[in-house]
A and B are shown apart, each in its own frame.
Chain A
């Protein structure tokens, strides 16, 4: 059974696609942030863990 929705009957138009320049920029900035974070974790991971170790209410989930 088809599920009704606001746009269920609307075909995807050109406007539904991310402009390629914007997509590349988002991916580039996101990539830099993630790799920067990985670098910082490699460099300072143990210090982060120590600072968090007393916070038993910490959740990494939600």
Chain B
């Protein structure tokens, strides 16, 4: 009989793992969202160009996407506790480097002289590694392994909801702190918040338990080889690229679209808030859909429903209420893709390397985000309109909906073959 200690994380109740993971991912994703707020005060006070700060944030995004795979692999092999602590420490270090950035007036000297003028880039690098270790990609494996397959979409949806809530509430509170405490002190508040991840990592600690005794364990290389040779895995990757393309474009360019249409600026805030709230509800519903529908069908429906939102922006009269209505519709089908996509990875290959393989899928999401932003900027500069971009979004949504239909939602043959003694 196994003892509780030897069972590790598997011995802990599922609710405790989801609660701890939810709090961690909420804090991590909230931090991830708010860094843009520091652009104006930091560049003004430190007398640095906006390019330097933007570059640091771009480095953070790129590093996050690239580090998600190795961090996921560490989380899968040694347990999420290690990546969480490493990620939290890296994030804290990155935030501290920003806090200690030297003031050009000399009133605030950097306490990190060895970093010199590269401090913002170093900060971006550290925060990118940090979010890869504490964000949703690092935790889907731990939660996915803890939950039985029939409850996995709901458990992962809880994680997605926590990420949505964290990102949603972080903006207004951080903005309030910055106004009342100043940006440097707000960074210390953020640093202290991130520090809470370390004790919260305790319930997530412990080496993942091996799967059922009938199942042979895979090496990292075998897992990658198997995934890359699996056609349905590539279809999932292609679909998640479209998800990133849509959400990054809509969120970033919506305020400009609203302004172009002559609508007041409160419409953009109301619309993005509607997306945030509807996203939380949509993610919950996506998790529940796992009880009565195949995940590939739910994902196809999510992508297909986005078509109507984009068509609405092309053909409906653009008023305050149509923009908000479309945003609510889009919000329901925003990141509700995450629990279903991550659960599908576990359905294909089991949960042993779930974080690493989802990290690979997530890299495609980040590339899609980049492509969406870049394409939108190029097309807008060329045509002074977003119409072409809405049509591209519609075409991609239809493409994503269609490619999910032929996905074979069943485990690979390996999972049915008993291990050799």
Contacts and interface: CB of A to CB of B under 8 A. Distances in A.
Interface range for B: 35 or more
Interface in A1-38: 1-10, 12, 15-18, 22, 26, 30, 33-34, 36-38
Contact of A4 (B36, B215, B247, B252): B215
A18 B251 contact: no
A57 B39 CA distance: 10
Given A4-B214, A60-B251, 5 more contacts: A6-B209, A48-B172, A57-B61, A60-B167, A62-B136
7 contacts: A1-B411, A4-B350, A16-B13, A40-B176, A41-B273, A61-B247, A61-B248
B269 A45 contact: yes
Interface string B249-261: 0011001000000
Contact of A1 (B146, B335, B365, B416): B416
Nearest to A39: B172
B299 interface: no
Contact of B15 (A2, A16, A49): A16
In the complex, the 6 A-B pairs of residues with the closest C-beta atoms, listed nearest first: A40-B172, A45-B269, A60-B251, A55-B36, A61-B247, A58-B36
Contact of B244 (A54, A58, A61): A61
Contact of A56 (B148, B214, B252, B410): B252
A7 to B, nearest CB: 5
Counting chain B CB atoms within 10 Å of each CB, the highest count among A3, A34, A40, A61 belongs to A61
A61 B168 contact: no
Contacts of B266: 45-46
Given A45-B266, A60-B33, A3 B252 contact: no
Contacts of B58: 57
A36 B172 CA distance: 9
B19 interface: yes
B145 A5 contact: yes
B275 A6 contact: no
A37 to B, nearest CB: 4
A39 B319 CA distance: 24
Contact of B415 (A4, A22, A33, A47): A4
B351 interface: yes
A4 B351 CA distance: 9
A51 B243 CA distance: 26
Contacts of A7: 10, 14, 145-148
A4 B214 CA distance: 9
Contacts of A37: 168-169, 171-173
Contacts of A56: 54, 252, 373, 377
B171 A16 contact: no
B36 A9 contact: no
Given A6-B209, A61-B248, A48 B175 contact: yes
A26 B165 CA distance: 13
Contact of A26 (B19, B50, B149, B248): B19
A54 B416 CA distance: 53
Contacts of A38: 273, 277
Nearest to A2: B149
Contact of B369 (A30, A34, A59): A59
Contacts of B251: 58-61
A62 B244 contact: yes
Given A37-B173, A60-B33, A49 B248 contact: no
Contact of A6 (B39, B146, B244): B146
Interface string B318-361: 00000000000000001100000000001100110000000000
A33 B169 contact: yes
Contacts of A62: 29, 32, 135-136, 244, 247, 335, 362, 365-366, 369
A51 B176 CA distance: 12
A56 B370 CA distance: 12
Interface in B239-294: 244, 247-248, 251-252, 255, 265-266, 268-270, 272-273, 275-277
Nearest to B415: A4
Nearest to A55: B36
Given A1-B410, A5-B211, A60-B167, A48 B269 contact: yes
